[in-house]
Amino acid sequence: MDFKDYNGVWVFIEEKDGVISQVSLELLGAGRKLADKRGVELAGVIIGENIKQLSHTIFEYGADKAYVYDQSIFKHYRTESYMRALLECTNKYKPEIILFGATSTGKDLASAVATDLPTGLTADTTELDVDEETGLLLASRPAFGGNIMATILCKKYRPQMATVRAKVMKALDPQSGRRGTIIEEEIQLKEDDIRTKVLEIVEATTKKVRIDEADIIVAGGKGLGSSEGFHLVRELADVLGGAVGASRDVVEAGWIEHPHQVGQTGVTVTPKIYIAIGISGAIQHIVGMKNSSLIIAINKDPEAPIFNTCHYGIVGDAFEIVPLLMDQFKTA
């Protein structure tokens, strides 16, 4: 197949209330590297209402171009309307590569767009590179239960598309005043054309710190024995002003909800301090927290694999150690 009409790297820019999500800024950083290697432009696609001014932010974070759909029909994210805009834009300008955050919106939109284009989608990527000669995107992700890294290529079709996990790529330092080209697009779409309607937005009421934004995470595993035992993790997190994380087994036991799960099928986190209590350190957990700046593990089994990853390890019973730590932290 001839791909000479396909050119440039694109990032789908996610925004909420006029603020660009961190993962989109990270993808602009990753996209910039890919674009430089290919000697092509980096563009962001911004869809929403009253969002044109965000173009200047994406230029500061490395984009050369912004494709903007600023229409009231895009006030709220809906798969159908956003998909129609992105499809139209893709068919018109033919990018070589499109990157999305592996967020609920990014995953939803990317898969919807991929089904309508003659191409595939690599989901949940954690490493990106490009082969300079062939232009092939090298999108890598953990496979076979996290035991190997698989690099997935899209040889026969364009664009090459991937969703990318938050916190694994680095945003560039913003260059104030850096400029780019804004291309304003408009799609002929009426409210009646869209089958979903947004009736009400109910904001989450929880005041707890989100694990993907926390500087300190206290995470608990099956070693805490029960939902009551897991309370120890919540208490220590409260004392330290941190967020609560968990292993998958804990989530499956119903001790805490899935947004708190750290790991391959949960969230990837990079806090300043990660305290793992009663977590064995299975590879699927480790891939989600191994880049934390300081990892402290508490486990009663001196052979637990978590001790191969942590910076400081305490061998002992969590029910003895954690109360002692809390006393110390409270008086510190």
- Which residues sit in the known binding site for FAD? 247-248, 261-265, 278-285, 299
Stretch that binds ligand FAD, among 94-102, 113-121, 147-155, 279-287 (CB under 6 A): 279-287
Beta-sheet pairing, 160-164 with 97-101? parallel
Backbone dihedral angles phi then psi of residue 34, each to the nearest 5 degrees: -65, -45
Q: Which is nearer to ligand FAD, 109 or 304 (CB)?
A: 304
Q: How many of the other CB atoms lie within 10 Å of CB of 130?
A: 22
> Annotated binding residues, as ranges?
247-248, 261-265, 278-285, 299
Number of H helices, E strands in the chain: 8, 17
Q: Which is nearer to ligand FAD, 41 or 249 (CB)?
A: 249
Q: Does 261 bind ligand FAD (CB under 6 A)?
A: yes
Q: Applying CB under 6 A, which of residues 94, 107, 208, 300 lies at the interface with ligand FAD? A: 300
Residue 36, C-beta contacts closer than 8 angstroms, at least 6 positions apart: none
Q: Does 280 bind ligand FAD (CB under 6 A)?
A: yes
In the complex, minimum distance from the CB of residue 84 to ligand FAD, in angstroms, rounded to a whole number: 34
In the complex, minimum distance from the CB of residue 139 to ligand FAD, in angstroms, rounded to a whole number: 19
Stretch that binds ligand FAD, among 85-93, 119-127, 230-238, 315-323 (CB under 6 A): 315-323
Give dist(CA 240, CA 235) in Å, integer.
9
Q: Does 8 bind ligand FAD (CB under 6 A)?
A: no
Q: Does 317 bind ligand FAD (CB under 6 A)?
A: yes
Q: Does 291 bind ligand FAD (CB under 6 A)?
A: no
Q: Does 285 bind ligand FAD (CB under 6 A)?
A: yes
Stretch that binds ligand FAD, among 33-41, 84-92, 172-180, 281-289 (CB under 6 A): 281-289
Q: Does 142 bind ligand FAD (CB under 6 A)?
A: no
Q: Does 282 bind ligand FAD (CB under 6 A)?
A: yes
Beta strands in the chain (DSSP E): 9-13, 15-16, 19-20, 42-48, 65-70, 97-101, 121-125, 127-130, 137-143, 148-152, 160-164, 181-185, 216-220, 243-246, 273-277, 294-299, 312-315
Write 114-119 long-range contacts (CB < 8 A, 24+).
114/161, 116/83, 116/87, 117/87, 117/90, 117/157, 117/159, 117/161, 118/157, 119/154, 119/157, 119/158, 119/159, 119/160, 119/161
Instruction: Kindly list the residues in this chain that would bind ligand FAD in the complex (CB under 6 A).
Output: 145, 221-223, 247-250, 261-266, 278-280, 282, 284-285, 288, 298-301, 304, 317-319
